[in-house]
Structure 1
Amino acid sequence: MKNIAILTIFILFVSTLCYGQNTYTYSQPKELKDGWKTTNLKSQNIDTTRIYQLFTQVQNGENKIHSILLVKNNQIIIEEYFNGYSANKQHDLRSVTKSIRSILLGIAIDKGFIENVDDPISKYLKSPVPTKNLDKRKYKITIRHLLTMSTGLDCNDWDKKSKGQEDKVYRKKDWLQYTLDLPIVNEPGTVSNYCSMGAVLIAEIISQSSGMTIDKFAEKYLFKPLGIANVSWGHTSNKEIIPSGKRLYMTSRDMAKIGQLILNYGKWNKKQVVSEKWIEESTSPKTKITEIDYGYLWWNIPFKANGKMFVFKTATGN
């Protein structure tokens, strides 16, 4: 994972620099006995000029930034909140939940609940089963196809004409059944389209293979080892939703733990939470969605700084 940066800020709107207004004042982040150590920015041998410019810009501009945390050498060196947010306030992660489901799948494989990503989903998903648009190709759909959004089903969140577009699915009573009943429009594994329901199926496969709801599985195997307790699951849909369909709400400090877990190849405080092999495999490019490299529910976005190319292994949500 050479030249890799982890982006854990979900949405960033940058406005024009506003000099002469409320200059940013730095203070060292507090230690809250949540597993994070903190240290002073001045001890890190960093040119702080642009950092101060950034925070002056953010606190004076009109934006929707909730928080910015900067972690270096496994320690939080900057922690700032805006627009009414604080260290204990949860954020709606929206599609960032997909990337966390990818981590949970890796853990399910590590624990032996799931054999490998090339298994057909029918091996683990015992119910529901397709009842409409019956097509033999549906039984060729593998876990890998869900992870790379290449199931071949008519499911494209960015195409309002798609039968599986997420807003249409949210109006249905049974999301899983509706998704499995979608028609096949491409051979599985050939075309990748952004499909939220594939990630919901991933969560349900983890649930059925482990015998635990996805929230209980996450609590036992991911959140507890990371010391994450201030977390909840929910959704904006007014329909009754099974646990596998819910998305996460977490604090910024806890989301930063997820980023650090990836940077440390699956380790947190020297404990291997998810295998290094899975981190390497899941975050590396496997396909392209709208010409952007995509792994197993992780984006790979190139970024040039000071003449060098970096890749953001990115979890994003709108």
Structure 2
Amino acid sequence: MRWILLMLLTATACAGATPARPGASDSSSASSSDWSPTQPPQLDDGWPVADASDKGIDASILQKMASDLADHDYVQLRSMLLVRNGALVFELYDRPSRARELQDLRSTTKSVTGLLVAEAAARGHLDLDAPILPHLSSDPASFSAAWQATTWRQLLTMRSGLACDDHDPASPGHEDRMYRSRDFSGDWVKFWLAVPREQPAGQDGRYCTGNAVALGRALASAVGEPVDAWAARVLFEPLGITSARWAEYAGGEGIDTGGHLRLRPRDLARIGQLVLEGGSWQGTTVLDPGAVAVAVTADSTVDGSDYGLLWWVSAFDTADGRTLRVWETRGNGGQHVFVLPELELVAVFTGGAYNHPDAALPYVLMARHVLPALGVAVTAPPANG
């Protein structure tokens, strides 16, 4: 795949064609002087836009970055958006239609699930420190005492205690085993409930997609409606997100809250901005501020990184001795949301570098280009970045 600046798309289009704009059809008319990546177009989608230079960003650094990306055929980045001080200031896609397409968020889905569960707790539908099993089984008494004591929070922080580690192919609860299992009629939660226990819940953090899938099943039970309906009512619709697609399993009986939610890049940026603003969107409270705060507060350690409620909690170390907090989502292939509260910055990336080292490119772009464009020199990216 070749990175193509949208304003330069005439080079790859047929003679006489004009550049495409984000959100417009490929055949829409626009002059190459109408806009640039550092001044996104104003669309009828509720997003304020601004010139990057008007938000304290050195636009020339971002323009140089975009040009460098265009010179490399191997780059598997599909979209990159930056929001500063509540306005969209940078927008780049590998092809014009990508702006309108629903992107597979992979495990960034988990962070959306974390917000949905935290909000349900804030509204009194559940207690994060209460046992979760009654919402997963009609016969919780048939499970071990350790199982009966396992809480919502322990799943949200990847401390279920099960022999489930997605980074260990031999792990009994590995996500690929769950996806491919023909047992339990394809019901992933039943598969997960049968995974052997490795240690008491609440101890070591091990990254397990099954935890997030089970949380979705339990959430639907707690709130009394399907997860997709709950998400639409409490999160997507208040944010103005009208196109969201959840993946399903067990013949449509279950909703995959561990991966594969699809959103448009601009809509994913709304979620990042919502978290930055503590649950508000353009002055309106959408999620309880406490729910957002607990989701992005470190409560566990997973793969060497601090971890909240299905959110990664990391930091960039700067040359002048500061530590810039980062609330982060991570999805296979390069699906990321970075929220940097001290800089009032949200960065969104989607990509196609599945199971490939190039998936780490967003960290490189943040450290070498985005943060320097804000006058921040970085000495170290987030752990495991």
TM-score, normalised relative to structure 1: 0.86
Q: Is residue 2:130 matched to residue 1:119?
A: yes
Question: 1:40 matched to which residue of 2?
Answer: 51
Alignment counterpart, residue 161 of structure 1, candidates 164, 170, 173: 170
Structure 1's 306 and 74: CA in aligned 2 closer, same or farther, altered over 3 A?
same
**What SS is found at the alignment partner of 1:304?**
strand
- Paired residue secondary structure (1:150): coil
- Partner Cα separation in structure 2 for residue 187 and residue 26 of structure 1: 50
Q: Which amino acid aligns with 2:47?
A: W
Amino acid at match of 2:331: G
Q: Could you list the per-position Cα deviations for residues 215-267 of structure 1 after superposition, in whole angstroms to 9, with x for gaps in the alignment?
A: 111011100000001211126x7x63533325310011000000000000010
Which structure exhibits the higher relative contact order, with contacts defined as CA atoms closer than 8 Å and separated by 6 or more residues? 1
Residue 191 in structure 1 maps to residue 204 in structure 2: yes
Which residue among 227, 233, 243 is the counterpart of 1:220? 233
1:66 to 53, 78, 102: 78
Unaligned runs of 5+ in 2: 4-11, 13-34, 333-385
Separation of aligned partners in 2, 1:65 and 1:285: 29
- Note the alpha carbon deviations across 1:35-93, whole angstroms, 9 max, x for none: 21111223223222321221111222221111111111111011111146532111100
Aligned to 2:116: 104
Give the aligned partner of residue 31 of structure 1.
Answer: 42
CA contact (8 A) 2:37 2:91 kept: no
Match of 1:162, as an amino acid?
S
How far the C-alpha of 1:283 sits from its partner, in A, is 0.5
Q: Does 1:297 align with 2:310?
A: yes
Structure 1 residues 214 and 299: CA distance shift in structure 2, 3 A: same
Identity of aligned residues (%): 30
Q: Structure 1 pair 210/47, CA: closer, same or farther in 2 (3 Å)?
A: same
For 1:297, the aligned partner's letter is L
The AA in structure 1 aligned to 2:68 is Q
Q: 1:264 aligns with which of 266, 272, 277?
A: 277
Partner of 1:5: none
1:198-277 to structure 2, matched below 5 A, reads 198-234=211-247, 240-245=251-256, 247-277=260-290
Alignment correspondent of 1:54: 65
1:3 alignment counterpart:
none
User: SS state of the match for residue 67, structure 1?
Assistant: strand
Distance across 2 between alignment mates of 1:306 and 1:102:
33
- Please say if residues 215 and 243 of structure 1, whose CA atoms lie closer than 8 Å, have aligned partners that are also in contact: no
3-state SS of the aligned residue for 1:37? coil
Corresponding residue SS for 1:117: coil
Distance between the aligned counterparts of 1:27 and 1:293, measured in 2? 32
Mapped to 1, the partners of 2:331 and 2:254 lie a distance apart of: 19
Match of 1:313 among 296, 312, 327: 327
Distance 1:149 1:230 in 2: 29
Query: 1:175 aligns to what?
Result: 188
Q: Is the 8 A contact 2:140 2:148 kept in 1?
A: no
Does the 8 Å contact 2:104/2:263 carry over to 1? yes
Is the 8 Å Cα contact of residues 118 and 144 (structure 1) preserved in structure 2?
yes
